[in-house]
């Protein structure tokens, strides 16, 4: 097909070059943004007297027809037309004749692709923000479902102190709230309108960039045309956000995998969320968690790729920048799918209270509480630590747990132990007593959950603001 830029060329482009340089296979997903942006541009050109009103009407009608064709599957994307912008422009001229050629007045593909990508990302940010909130709600629900479930808390993956299972779930909830607010920051810097920058230096036509920004519901307009066409910071920020979010999902994945193993058996994933083995009939594998953990790698990779693409690029547009889209799109798809499937998996997951109980009771994770008991009788903490350390060594030697010791045995280690020591080191007491703000006590976890509900309601307000600012 003849090129829209073919004027100065004497030869056809090599087919291999067409294939190498074209982006239509992946940028076609921005068709709607491309058309919506073009409609706003054509309307502005007419309002500013740059093209006639009836010309704009014809162009806009033509663009709407193309949108319908694409959505009905009646549009064949041509590699020889390179990208979504030229595919649509060519089809417009085919439909409405030479007047279609007026659409590209005061515009370049450099500012056009930037506009499309900003609009596309804004749309997806809104979806992803909603998915984060849904996953957060799944975590709150898991916390509320088992308000009293006690499990071992770990440091170094060694049993450390007893905690409430809902406290563990809420730790992930609060992680996710930071992802939400980071995404909100990405939104702010994506909500800047680049069109009208032209190829790099602005245009000789009396355009109105702010009118286009209003029509497309952008909050701001790029102040510098060279920055407008070469900025990919918003993509980098999105990929950074996505990398941190995936890192969080990967951490919870690791726990889900461990907890569902025969060694732990703390949780049981729903059959619908696991897969089997083609050879070992007994297997039930936590594939979702493993795949999410694995897919984290590709999202980190996209961030590194984009940083590397942008590094050392002179201003303004360079074709290198076309490489921004596949990683961005893949990161968007990966994050959306991972969040959706994870929320479903957490909602259907059940915990195995007996196994958690067994792990937390046959254990020394109440040792800190025993030391705290002595401290409350007046012993300095360091000495209390030493006394309890000796008790633990004694128990190991005699194959006992701290709860199995008699008062006489306790007293061998310190006269400060009284009748109430057994009550003080019961796991329920240990958990209930950690009532410092943010601790694992029943009361604190209740507070966390109610604060979480308030946070989600606030996030909804932010999300409603996005919807207002979106076309």
The residues that are catalytic are: 156, 277
Of 58, 87, 90, 110, which one interacts with ligand ARG (CB under 6 A)?
110
Of 88, 103, 113, 140, which one interacts with ligand ARG (CB under 6 A)?
113
Dist. CA 30–CA 233, nearest whole Å: 19
| Site track for ligand ARG across 289-318, x = CB under 6 A | ----------------------------x-
Dist. CA 110–CA 394, nearest whole Å: 75
- Exposure string of 68-96, with b = 16+ CB inside 10 Å and e = fewer, is eebeeeebebebbbbbbbbbbbbbbbebb
Q: For the CA atoms of 362, 364, 368, 374, what is the dihedral angle to 10 degrees?
A: 90
Tell me the closest approach of the beta carbon of residue 18 to ligand ARG, in angstroms.
Answer: 13
Q: Is 39 in the site for ligand ARG (CB under 6 A)?
A: no
Closer of 4 and 348 to ligand ARG (Cβ) = 4
- Binding segment for ligand ARG (CB under 6 A), chosen from 108-116, 200-208, 242-250, 431-439, is 108-116
Tell me the closest approach of the beta carbon of residue 5 to ligand ARG, in angstroms.
Answer: 9
Closer of 313 and 457 to ligand ARG (Cβ) = 313
Dist. CA 208–CA 221, nearest whole Å: 11
The size of the interface with ligand ARG (CB under 6 A), counted in residues, is 10
Q: What percent of the residues of the chain are helix, what percent strand, and what percent coil, each to the nearest 5? A: 70, 5, 30
Instruction: Name the H helices within 349-440.
Output: 353-361, 367-376, 381-397, 407-413, 421-424, 427-433
- Binding segment for ligand ARG (CB under 6 A), chosen from 106-114, 383-391, 437-445, 458-466, is 106-114
Closer of 4 and 416 to ligand ARG (Cβ) = 4
Tell me the closest approach of the beta carbon of residue 220 to ligand ARG, in angstroms.
Answer: 22
Tell me the closest approach of the beta carbon of residue 108 to ligand ARG, in angstroms.
Answer: 7
Place of tokens 């900003």: 118
Tokens of 350: 């059940």
Query: DSSP letter string over 372-384?
Result: HHHHHTT--HHHH
CA 111 to chain centre: 27
Tell me the closest approach of the beta carbon of residue 321 to ligand ARG, in angstroms.
Answer: 5
Closer of 322 and 366 to ligand ARG (Cβ) = 322
Dist. CA 263–CA 417, nearest whole Å: 36
Four-residue CA torsion sign, 84, 85, 87, 89:
positive
Tell me the closest approach of the beta carbon of residue 269 to ligand ARG, in angstroms.
Answer: 41
Tell me the closest approach of the beta carbon of residue 23 to ligand ARG, in angstroms.
Answer: 4
Tell me the closest approach of the beta carbon of residue 149 to ligand ARG, in angstroms.
Answer: 51
The answer to whether 235 touches 117, Cβ cutoff 8 Å, is yes
The answer to whether 259 touches 267, Cβ cutoff 8 Å, is yes
Dist. CA 190–CA 401, nearest whole Å: 58
Closer of 245 and 309 to ligand ARG (Cβ) = 309
Tell me the closest approach of the beta carbon of residue 337 to ligand ARG, in angstroms.
Answer: 24
| Site track for ligand ARG across 67-96, x = CB under 6 A | ----------------x-------------
Dist. CA 394–CA 402, nearest whole Å: 9
Of 41, 107, 109, 118, which one interacts with ligand ARG (CB under 6 A)?
109
Bridge partners of residue 267, in order along the sequence: 351
Q: For the CA atoms of 35, 106, 51, 84, what is the dihedral angle to 10 degrees?
A: -20
Closer of 83 and 179 to ligand ARG (Cβ) = 83
| Site track for ligand ARG across 135-174, x = CB under 6 A | ----------------------------------------
Closer of 27 and 55 to ligand ARG (Cβ) = 27
Closer of 1 and 457 to ligand ARG (Cβ) = 1
Binding residues for ligand ARG restricted to 318-337, rule: CB under 6 A: 319, 321-322
Place of tokens 């939400």: 180
Closer of 317 and 342 to ligand ARG (Cβ) = 317
Other CB atoms within 10 A of residue 362 CB: 11
The answer to whether 264 touches 351, Cβ cutoff 8 Å, is no
**Which residues of this protein are in contact with ligand ARG, per CB under 6 A?**
23, 27, 83, 109-110, 113, 317, 319, 321-322
């Amino acid at each position: 097909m003849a090129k829209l830029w073919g004027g100065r060329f004497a030869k056809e482009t090599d087919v291999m070059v067409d294939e190498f340089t074209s982006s239509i296979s992946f940028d076609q997903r921005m068709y709607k943004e491309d058309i919506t942006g073009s409609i706003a541009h054509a309307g502005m050109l007419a309002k500013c007297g740059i093209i006639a009103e009836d010309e704009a009407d014809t162009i806009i009608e033509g663009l709407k027809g193309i949108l319908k064709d694409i959505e009905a599957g009646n549009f064949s994307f041509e590699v020889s037309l390179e990208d979504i912008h030229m595919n649509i422009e060519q089809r417009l001229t085919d439909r409405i004749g030479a007047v279609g050629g007026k659409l590209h007045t005061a515009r370049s593909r450099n500012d056009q692709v930037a506009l499309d990508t900003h609009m596309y990302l804004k749309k997806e940010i809104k979806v992803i923000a909603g998915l984060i909130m849904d996953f957060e709600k799944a975590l709150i629900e898991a916390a509320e479902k088992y308000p009293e479930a006690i499990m071992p808390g770990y440091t170094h993956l060694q049993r450390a102190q007893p905690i409430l299972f809902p406290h563990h779930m809420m730790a992930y909830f609060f992680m996710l709230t930071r992802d939400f607010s980071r995404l909100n920051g990405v939104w702010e810097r994506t909500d800047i309108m680049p069109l009208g920058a032209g190829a790099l230096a602005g245009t000789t036509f009396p355009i109105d960039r702010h009118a286009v920004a209003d029509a497309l519901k952008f909050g701001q307009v790029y102040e510098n045309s060279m920055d407008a066409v070469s900025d990919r910071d918003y993509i980098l920020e999105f990929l950074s956000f996505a990398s941190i979010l995936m890192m969080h999902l990967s951490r919870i994945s690791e726990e889900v995998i461990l907890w569902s193993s025969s060694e732990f058996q703390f949780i049981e994933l729903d059959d619908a969320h696991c897969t089997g083995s083609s050879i070992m009939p007994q297997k039930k594998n936590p594939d979702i968690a493993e795949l999410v953990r694995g897919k984290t790698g590709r999202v980190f990779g996209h961030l590194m790729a984009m940083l590397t693409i942008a590094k050392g690029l002179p201003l303004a547009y360079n074709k290198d920048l076309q490489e921004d889209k596949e990683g961005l799109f893949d990161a968007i798809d990966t994050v959306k799918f991972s969040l959706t499937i994870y929320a479903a998996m957490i909602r259907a997951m059940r915990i195995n209270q007996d196994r958690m109980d067994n792990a937390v009771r046959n254990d020394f994770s109440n040792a800190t509480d025993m030391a705290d008991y002595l401290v409350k009788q007046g012993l300095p903490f360091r000495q209390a630590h030493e006394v309890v350390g000796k008790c633990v060594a004694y128990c190991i030697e005699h194959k006992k747990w701290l709860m199995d010791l008699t008062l006489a045995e306790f007293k061998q280690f310190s006269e400060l132990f009284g009748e109430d020591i057994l009550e003080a080191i019961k796991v329920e007491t240990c958990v209930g007593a950690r009532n410092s703000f943010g601790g694992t006590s029943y009361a604190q976890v209740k507070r966390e959950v109610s604060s979480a509900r308030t946070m989600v309601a606030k996030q909804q307000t932010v999300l409603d603001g996005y919807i207002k600012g979106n076309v």
